[in-house]
Every structure is written in structure tokens, then in C-alpha cells.
Structure 1
Amino acid sequence: MTPPRETPPAAVGVVLAAGMGTRVGADGNKAYLPLAGRSMVSWSVEAVARSANVTRTILVFRRGERDLAARTLAAEVPQLRVELVEGGDTRHGSEENVLRHLAPDIESGAVDVVLVHDAARPLASAAMMDTAVTTARTRGGAIPVLPAADVVETDVDGRLSPPDGTLVRVQTPQAFRARPLLDAYLAAADGSFEGTDTASCVQNYTDLEVHVFPGAATNLKVTFAPDVRLAERLLQDRISRSGTR
């Protein structure tokens, strides 16, 4: 009798869409702004779900918006299977909620990597998701970065100089081994820590090594009104090149 085949551990891709859109000028949640014929959130969810290394996809929705999230996904990416988890009052709270949702599978070993991506980065590629997951699986943690070439340093006399080359801008997707990531958020729940991103909590509460890999200039975060227009143009260009939406 052939023994049953073991199911390999899974990587879970999480899209955070529980924020507001005040700086971008949106009346409500900016994740649902239309971009190139679809909502921003559906572009981001699809990028995560299309990764060959992501087995499960979760959308973290803002409290009171479950029906909106479900309707949007059903209308725009009906071919994708996406779980829904309610977010918290902050980014950190939303991450904690989804990790508590995944805790039984993380503790059993069924999930070995968790990837976290911002809904406000609709131009990230599936290849970037793949790199994040494979790097996290082998090295512990992975974040995409770009050189911060448009900043300067000042000395005590107020003189300006270029940075030393070590300053970078951090993007998402960010991916980490699941068990230390869960442990970090459980530890943070006992205090008043509010991380600016996933990596900050990991670095505060674990010894996990977080490795960087090249980000992409096109992987912009839609924060202000001009970002909406730029993201729309870039997505339209992508559609024109590929011939698909």
C-alpha cells in the first residue's frame, strides 16, 4: 500500500486593505479607488494570488466593509479564491488579527511563511511575491528596498551632504517565517508597540534575520492624488503590452 503523500507547508499571502484614504483625497477606503477599470485592491490581490509560491490568499478588510470586499472580489477577480479577515484599528492591529486567524495552521506547521502586502501597491509583480517567499523560506525574512537617492543628511552646522548609501526605502511585499512572525505579534500584544510595517515588529521581538532584495520603482504606494494618476497610467501601459486586464 502506498503511504499517503505529505502535504508540504504552505505560504499564505495577505493583502492589507483596512486603512483610510485621507491623504489621497478619497472619501472612504482608498483600496477601492478605480484604477484602469478595476479597484486598486483587486490588482493587489491578484498579484499575490498569481504567485507560484503562494498557496492561500487573504484579504484583510476594514471593519464594516466585509460585503464591499466580497462584492468587489466576486465582480473583478471571480476566478480567485480569497479568504476574508476583519482588520484592526491600525496596520499593526490588522496584522495581529490575521496572524491570530492563521495561528492554528502556523502552530501545526501547515503554514511556514506569511507574506504581507499593501493593497495600496497595485503594481507589484507576482515575481516579486515569489522572491519574497523563497527568500523568507531559506533566510528567515525578506523585504524589497530601493536606494533613497532623493534625501540628504545635515551635520551639526546645518550643512547638507548626500547620504552614505546605506539609507533605503522599504516596500511591500514583506515575507517571514510564520512561527517567529506569530511569536513577535503575540509578544507585542502584551505592550504598547505599534510597528510601522511588519519588519519592524519582527526586528523588535525576534532574532530573525531580515534580508533585503531589490524593489521596483514601479511598485509605488498610492498615497497622494498624483499617485492615483501615475498608477493608472502604469496599469494601462501594462494592459496594452499584455492585452489582458
Structure 2
Amino acid sequence: MNIGLILAGGSGTRMGGDLPKQFIDIYGKPLIVHTIEAFDINPNIDYIAVICKSDYKEDLNIWVRKYGLTKVKWIVDGGDTRQSSVENGLKAIEEFCGGDDIVVVHDAARPLISQRIIDENIEGAKEYKAVDTVIPSADTIIKTLDGEFIEEVPPRHELHLGQTPQSFEYALIKKAHDHAKENNINTATDDCQLILKLGEKVHLVKGDKLNFKVTTFEDLLILKSVIKLGKLEVK
């Protein structure tokens, strides 16, 4: 069984305004609905859990019915951090999951995820137990310790930009979160960091530039342009 875990608990403060970015209307439907739909139509996804701010759970329930998102089985309260939100999601599906079931963890603010990326995440997680979606860095990355001077220029061919999904066997990701809790690790910005702390390897899945995270107003303009262009091409 393969379960999509959609993270929508963030406040989206970098976008400006009071409405979190994942709930902004994009051509007649909330951004998060565009994201959930990508998982809902994928034949390899069996169920979906959405981790969201408690203030929006009622709205999300309405949208699930309105847009016919039939695979959404859980709507779970988000935590104070990304790590705690994932942990809440894992707890919610625990009784439903076997150890070798696959959990596909994805940011709600990446609505242009392709079906290929979802499929390859599931295939990779079944083979390697843990995978991360990445794209090669097109730019030279500068490391600085103080924001004033260059500390190091790492070789570009060694660097990739992390995206989501990050996908795992349920037993492994649950073990990683339990280990983090036992060792007072609570600031991980993604789940692969926790897997690495167990001494386990994480396989790479090829991402896509269109699978970007909507973080700023400029990102929102790009998203709308891509969706509009897609609709024109379909016509």
C-alpha cells in the first residue's frame, strides 16, 4: 500500500498576507487542491493523509467533497515544526500501515508535481527503503559562515537541490522519527536528515524544475503562468 502524506501545516509568512500560501486561490481552486489532485489521480497511490493547520481543517473537508478527492482518508492537525507535522501524520496512519508500506511525503506548496516523480518515488522506496527527489544545481553554490565572506565554493557536480516527495518504507521513517525524539532532535528540515542519522542510505530520484515550491509572490506568478500556458496548450 502507498500513502501520500501532504504537508500543509506551514504559515506561509514569506508570501505576505494572512492567508497561508497553500490555501490561495489558483484559477478557481485552492493551491493545495491542485497538489492533492496530482496524488488522487495517480493509480499507485492508495490513500492520502493531509497534515494541515487546525483552523483550515473544516475548509479542507469541504474541498475534499467539492472536488471529489476520493483518496483523502485522514486530515490531521499540523505540529509546530515540519518534523512534528510529519510525526503527527505517521501516528495517524500507524494502525493502518504495515512496515513495508510506502509513505510519500510531499509539500502542499509544490502543486506541479508530475506523475513520473510520484511513480519513481514509490518504485525507489520499494527497492531502497528511502528516496529523495533532487535536481542538479545549475548554479555555483557559495558557502558562507557570516554572510559577508566566502568560506568555500563546493564542486557544483557534487551538489543537488532537494525537492519533495521524500518517500520511505513506513517502518524505517517511523524508526527515524522515534530515534530523533529519543535524542532530542527536533529541528530537521526534511525527513532524509533523520534517515541519515540512523546510518541508513537515501537513494536519489530525478526531480523536475517545474516541481518548485511556491514560497514567494514571484513563485505564485510563475505558477499561474505555467498553469495558464498548460490550459492554452490543451485547447
Equivalent of residue 220 in structure 2, options 216, 221, 228 = 228
Deviation at 1:86, TM superposition (A): 1.3
Deviation at 1:23, TM superposition (A): 0.5
Q: Does 1:187 align with 2:179?
A: yes
Determine helix, strand or coil for the equivalent of 1:149.
Answer: coil
Partner of 2:70: 80
Deviation at 1:26, TM superposition (A): 3.3
The runs of at least 4 consecutive aligned structure 1 residues that moved more than 6 Å come to none
Deviation at 1:199, TM superposition (A): 1.2
Equivalent of residue 119 in structure 1, options 102, 108, 113 = 108
Deviation at 1:70, TM superposition (A): 1.0
CA 1:54–1:208 in 2, change beyond 3 Å: closer, same or farther?
farther
Deviation at 1:160, TM superposition (A): 7.9
CA-atom RMSD in angstroms: 2.2
Gaps of 5+ in 1: 1-9
Q: Does 1:43 align with 2:43?
A: no
Give distance in 1, aligned partners of 2:77 and 2:114: 25
Give distance in 1, aligned partners of 2:190 and 2:220: 22
Greater helix content: 2
Q: Does 1:148 align with 2:137?
A: yes
CA 1:101–1:52 in 2, change beyond 3 Å: closer, same or farther?
same
Larger Rg: 1
CA 1:158–1:124 in 2, change beyond 3 Å: closer, same or farther?
closer
Aligned residues: 230
The answer (yes or no) to whether the contact 2:2–2:101 under 8 Å persists in 1 is yes
Give distance in 2, aligned partners of 1:63 and 1:196: 21
Determine helix, strand or coil for the equivalent of 1:231.
Answer: helix
Instruction: Give a deviation string over 1:161-194, Cα, whole Å, max 9, x none.
Output: 5734111100011111110111111222221332
Give distance in 1, aligned partners of 2:7 and 2:165: 11
> Matched residues, percent identical?
28
Instruction: Give a deviation string over 1:111-161, Cα, whole Å, max 9, x none.
Output: 611000000001001221111011101111111111122233469x95985
Q: Does 1:20 align with 2:11?
A: yes
